[in-house]
């Protein structure tokens, strides 16, 4: 009899842990399949997919804790611990834990609010409390942000007081291009049209508008161009534009004016 009890106390906890791992693995696979289906839906925007990925990561985290608690209670029951009394006393314990772990609960609630209010998601470029970088991890307790120079800021979710999300909407890039007065406006706009044809082939460029002459100076005029592009792509887009423009200048044997090209990002 004693031998049977001992065997029961050995193999049942192992079985419960294995069952818990299998259930967690299966549920994660189901969640991942749902995400893959969402990615294949062309109607969905990239920002929606990113938000779903963040929410799914949250659900996985919560699911892990729930399965772990249930498994622990089942194992305690094997060893004769009255889990019903434990569950009944969770209310009182919850109040005590709530007082002892106020900061943890604040971080938890703040993390849930950030995700469901769509403040930012994993992969977004944000400025949080004055620190700018890419969100590399959004957890229930903390947010990790990596700057372009490699520094990683880890901040408690409850400590986040201000957020600027640079990835939420498309970027509008304005280019103010100095053009020599010796270049006729018709010739200049033909050059721009050639540049625009190449620019529109780029995956991050959505639309280009020729706004016209912005200023008239003594030796040149300033021509303004508006480019709609994906978030955080404006630096590369401006470099690509200058590259194509230089090629057109070389074809037409046009000298680049002494003034600098002004780039305005809004």
Q: Is 80 helix (H, G, I), strand (E, B) or coil?
A: coil
Using one digit for the tens of pLDDT, what is the confidence trace for 20-67?
888 888 888 887 776 555 544 444 455 556 666 667 777 777 788 888
Taking the whole predicted model, whether its pTM rises above 0.85 is answered as no
Q: Is 85 helix (H, G, I), strand (E, B) or coil?
A: helix
Q: What are phi and psi of 43, to 5 degrees?
A: -65, -35
In the chain, the percentage of residues whose pLDDT exceeds 90 is 2
Cβ neighbours of residue 170 under 8 Å, at least 6 residues apart? 206, 228, 229, 230, 231
Write out the DSSP string of 86-145: HHHTHHHHHHHHHHHTHHHHHHHHHHHHHHHTTS--TT-EEEETTEEEEEEEE-SSEEEE
Both tokens of residue 19? 């069952």
- Give strand ranges (E) for 131-250: 131-138, 142-146, 152-156, 163-165, 171-180, 205-216, 220-229
Using one digit for the tens of pLDDT, what is the confidence trace for 83-142?
666 666 666 656 665 555 566 777 777 777 777 777 888 888 889 888 988 888 887 788
Other C-beta atoms closer than 10 Å to the C-beta of 148 total: 9
CA distance 200 to 205: 6
Q: What is the pLDDT of residue 41?
A: 46
Sheet holding 171-180, edge to edge: 205-216, 220-229, 171-180, 262-265
Write down the mean pLDDT value for the chain. Answer: 77
CA distance 210 to 223: 8
In the chain, the percentage of residues whose pLDDT exceeds 70 is 76
Asked if 161 contacts 171 with a C-beta cutoff of 8 angstroms, the reply is no
């Amino acid at each position: 009899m004693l031998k049977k009890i001992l065997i029961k106390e050995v193999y049942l906890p192992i079985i419960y842990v294995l069952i818990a791992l299998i259930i967690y693995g299966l549920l994660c696979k189901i969640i991942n399949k749902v995400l893959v289906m969402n990615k294949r839906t062309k109607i969905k925007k990239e920002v929606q997919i990113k938000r779903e990925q963040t929410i799914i990561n949250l659900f996985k985290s919560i699911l892990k804790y729930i399965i772990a608690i249930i498994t622990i209670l089942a194992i305690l029951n094997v060893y004769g611990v009255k889990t019903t009394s434990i569950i009944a006393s969770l209310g009182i314990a919850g109040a005590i834990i709530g007082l002892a772990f106020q900061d943890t609960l604040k971080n938890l609630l703040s993390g849930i609010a950030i995700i469901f209010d769509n403040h930012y998601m994993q992969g977004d470029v944000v400025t949080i409390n004055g620190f700018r970088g890419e969100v590399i991890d959004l957890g229930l307790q903390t947010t990790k942000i990596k700057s372009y120079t490699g520094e990683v800021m880890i901040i408690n979710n409850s400590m986040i007081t201000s957020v600027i999300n640079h990835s939420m909407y498309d970027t509008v890039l304005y280019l103010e291009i100095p053009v020599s007065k010796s270049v006729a406006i018709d010739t200049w706009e033909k050059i721009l049209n050639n540049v625009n044809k190449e620019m529109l082939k780029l995956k991050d460029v959505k639309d280009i508008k020729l706004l016209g002459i912005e200023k008239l100076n003594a030796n040149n005029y300033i021509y303004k161009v508006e480019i709609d592009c994906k978030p955080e792509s404006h630096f590369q887009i401006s470099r690509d534009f200058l590259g194509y423009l230089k090629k057109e200048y070389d074809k037409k044997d046009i000298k680049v004016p002494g003034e600098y090209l002004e780039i305005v990002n809004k």
